[in-house]
Structure 1
Amino acid sequence: MADDRDQNLPGLDLDVVAAFLRANVDPHIGACTGHVVVGGKSNMTYLVGDGRRQWIVRRPPLGHVLETAHDMGREARVMSALAPTAVPVPQVLAVCTDSGPIGAPFYVMEYVPGTAFRDESELRELGAARTRKIADEMIDVLADLHAVDPSAVGLGELGRPEGFLGRQVSRWTRQLEASRSRELAGADELRAALADRVPTESAARIVHGDYRLDNLLVDASGVRAVIDWEMATIGDPLTDLALLVVYGRVAEIPGGEVITTISRAPGHPSAAQLVERYAARTGPLPPAGLGFYLGLAAFKLAVILEGIHLRHSQGHTVGAGFDTVGALVEPLFGEGIALLKEWS
């Protein structure tokens, strides 16, 4: 790891983190260096080490933060609860709920080696057969997550499953109003259509909230860890499946490569194949179809990107690609309207 000690890491004081690690993980940890792994699209992620060992540190993004999102204690709690289950997660080592030391709460977890595939070219190098195997395992892990009884792992109070879908429409409408800085074609039409079509919820399960291939760490043996649990809650598991499908549609939108191009890779399953494999593991899907869920997923993703667009316009993002994220928001509202009709 390159020595970034003389650099001012955005949002992280390495001396403070080193002292925290000594107090809470190992008193023999030395001076730390580090660099940003992911900056600003979700929580800030840093790889920190002392020359002998490495850890991952997570904190909320800089600047404008959406309501209820980026809760460090919640994210750490979910991963700790899932540790003894079939769902692979990193080990959480220590949590700082006090915003004093670095200006925001943060937590430290083990460093899990593996690749978070974000681009179809990365999968293309592996070949179609390996790509299909990875995608199939991605679905199988999602099914394993949704098979976990939340109460059995101490997460029964993580969310309120009754009325979950209706609250999701309301929540993301509020998030949109908190993040909107411009007129957005299709936003109000999709919101109204979703509000009119809220179905009866499926059985309540742990919902990741942003499940996709680049939130998995994969090596030659398979999926090593599911990461980025900042939006986890208890609710309708089909919202996870629908968001995964919508991420595949993003790759078809001009400029969507700034988010993901995974679904373009040879061997990657179609949306119908993803849904079919999931249903084979979990049971039949609702007879009313996935239209509402897919429309909601597109609405949610558009709102998240609008929040990123706002943070970028305020100078609070770190990394490349943020200048084009805003151009995807309106097309996603349009995708949501189309999906709601197409899959109902």
Structure 2
Amino acid sequence: MATIPELDPAEFGKWSRGNAIDIPDDVTVTRVGIGQSNLTYLLAAGDSRWVLRRPPVGNLLASAHDVVREARILSALADTPVPVPHVHGVCTDTAVSPAPLVVMEYVEATVLDGLPVAEALSVEQRRSIGKSMVDTLAKIHEVDLDAVGLSDLASHKPYAERQIKRWSSQWEKSKTRDIPAVDDLTRRFLANAPAQTEVRLVHGDFHIRNIMVDPAAARVKAVLDWELSTLGDPLADIGSTLAYWPSRGGPQLSAAPVELLDGFPDHATLAADYVERTGRDPKALKYWQALGLWKVAIIAQGILKRVQDNASNRAAGGVPTNTVVDSMLEAALDVADAAGI
């Protein structure tokens, strides 16, 4: 258990048994995923599996990496059509760990985080998974907030202004150099914010590496990484998905851009499928795509800064570079210019 930072193995064993999770002391621990934010571990003992999540090590930005809040969202979605892992327990006992821990179900499914696993799928399977992603995102946006107890998860004030305030603040706290494009885009987003017509649950970080798929059924089996989830404009979610989704010759956050394989949708198809599925405004989507690119650039900068501050936060997927941050901002400017923002 020593591979999980700051964890007291004996106290963790007491806590797990006291919460009817009963993870044995001789469990093996493996860091999993290529994610750069909350740290994720697979706990294995015999045929039993659990997943443990905790925040990164070191100084964190305010409101970021809240695994307790993430667990609340997962628990609220348990009986909805949105596929999520079951939460076994949340530990906030500082005798166990100075940082909160969440233990959740291990889902037997595939993460498309590398070319070999995605290349093993047929073109038709990839096409079906792309459509399932759009359908799953639409299901998230259909959640009845009052029915699942999430109507108080976040403010209902205009989402664009909230996002701009939050991420420009995060930029100021995590930047390692000045980039005029960040401030330029901030001003333009504020001046052109679309009117808010609905408030929905938004995932906030919906992309191909934050889902698990059932290859046989070619569909999404679980949606992961809800730490950025909030209440706001659902078009912001598909805008972020488009921001993460690579295009040939465009900026790429991943060294293995599986989305470019035949069968997976391109930007235009993703956007059209979502608009057809939900009936939402395609014109406003360009605004959210540009803002999504700006936000992803700021997230990449935050990852870069966290790894600089503490090397144990480095994940298998590597660390974004200044070039990646710059290219995301250039793409944001291109989309904003083309949309007249």
| TM-score of the pair, normalised by structure 2 | 0.92
Moved more, 122-131 or 109-118: 122-131
Deviation, structure 1 residue 254: 5.8
Is residue 266 from structure 1 mapped to residue 257 from structure 2 by the alignment?
A: no
Deviation, structure 1 residue 88: 0.6
Give 1:223's match in structure 2, choosing from 220, 223, 226. 220
Give 1:234's match in structure 2, choosing from 231, 236, 239. 231
- 1:202–1:238 contact (8 Å) kept in structure 2: no
Give 1:104's match in structure 2, choosing from 99, 105, 130. 99
**Mapped partners of 1:83, 1:36: distance in 2:** 25
User: CA, structure 1 residues 12+202, in 2 after alignment: closer, same or farther (shift >3 Å)?
Assistant: farther
Name the residue aligned to 2:331: 335
- 2:33–2:40 contact (8 Å) kept in structure 1: yes
Q: Which AA in structure 2 matches 1:330?
A: D
User: CA, structure 1 residues 314+271, in 2 after alignment: closer, same or farther (shift >3 Å)?
Assistant: same
Map 1:84-99 onto structure 2 (within 5 A): 84-99=79-94
Deviation, structure 1 residue 74: 0.9
Map 1:1-344 onto structure 2 (within 5 A): 8-27=3-22, 29-38=24-33, 41-219=36-214, 220-221=216-217, 222-249=219-246, 252-253=249-250, 256-258=253-255, 261-285=257-281, 288-316=283-311, 317-343=313-339
Deviation, structure 1 residue 49: 2.4
Moved more, 38-47 or 239-248: 38-47
Moved more, 199-208 or 38-47: 38-47
Deviation, structure 1 residue 280: 1.6
**Mapped partners of 2:119, 2:45: distance in 1:** 35
User: CA, structure 1 residues 320+291, in 2 after alignment: closer, same or farther (shift >3 Å)?
Assistant: same
- 1:45 alignment partner, SS class: strand
Q: Which AA in structure 2 matches 1:339?
A: V
- 2:280 alignment partner, SS class: coil
- 2:53–2:103 contact (8 Å) kept in structure 1: yes
Q: How many residues align?
A: 337
**Mapped partners of 1:94, 1:250: distance in 2:** 39
Deviation, structure 1 residue 139: 0.5
Moved more, 54-63 or 181-190: 181-190
Q: Which AA in structure 2 matches 1:278?
A: Y
User: CA, structure 1 residues 36+13, in 2 after alignment: closer, same or farther (shift >3 Å)?
Assistant: farther
**Mapped partners of 1:124, 1:169: distance in 2:** 37
- 2:303–2:320 contact (8 Å) kept in structure 1: no
**Mapped partners of 1:251, 1:73: distance in 2:** 38
Taking only aligned residues, the RMSD between alpha carbons, in angstroms, comes to 2.1
Deviation, structure 1 residue 131: 0.5
Deviation, structure 1 residue 142: 0.5
**Mapped partners of 2:23, 2:326: distance in 1:** 52
Deviation, structure 1 residue 261: 0.7
Consecutive unaligned residues in structure 1, runs of 5 or more: none
| TM-score of the pair, normalised by structure 1 | 0.91
Deviation, structure 1 residue 281: 1.6
- 1:289–1:343 contact (8 Å) kept in structure 2: no
Moved more, 13-22 or 144-153: 13-22
- 1:269-316: per-residue Cα shift (whole Å, max 9, x none)? 111111111112211315x43222011101111111101111121234
Deviation, structure 1 residue 163: 1.6
- 2:13–2:23 contact (8 Å) kept in structure 1: no
**Mapped partners of 2:57, 2:74: distance in 1:** 23
**Mapped partners of 1:328, 1:250: distance in 2:** 14
- 1:120–1:262 contact (8 Å) kept in structure 2: yes
- 2:33–2:316 contact (8 Å) kept in structure 1: no
Deviation, structure 1 residue 205: 0.7
**Mapped partners of 1:49, 1:337: distance in 2:** 46
Q: Which AA in structure 2 matches 1:241?
A: I
**Mapped partners of 1:297, 1:13: distance in 2:** 39
- 1:256 alignment partner, SS class: coil
Q: Which AA in structure 2 matches 1:187?
A: V
Deviation, structure 1 residue 125: 2.3
- 2:201 alignment partner, SS class: strand
Deviation, structure 1 residue 47: 0.5
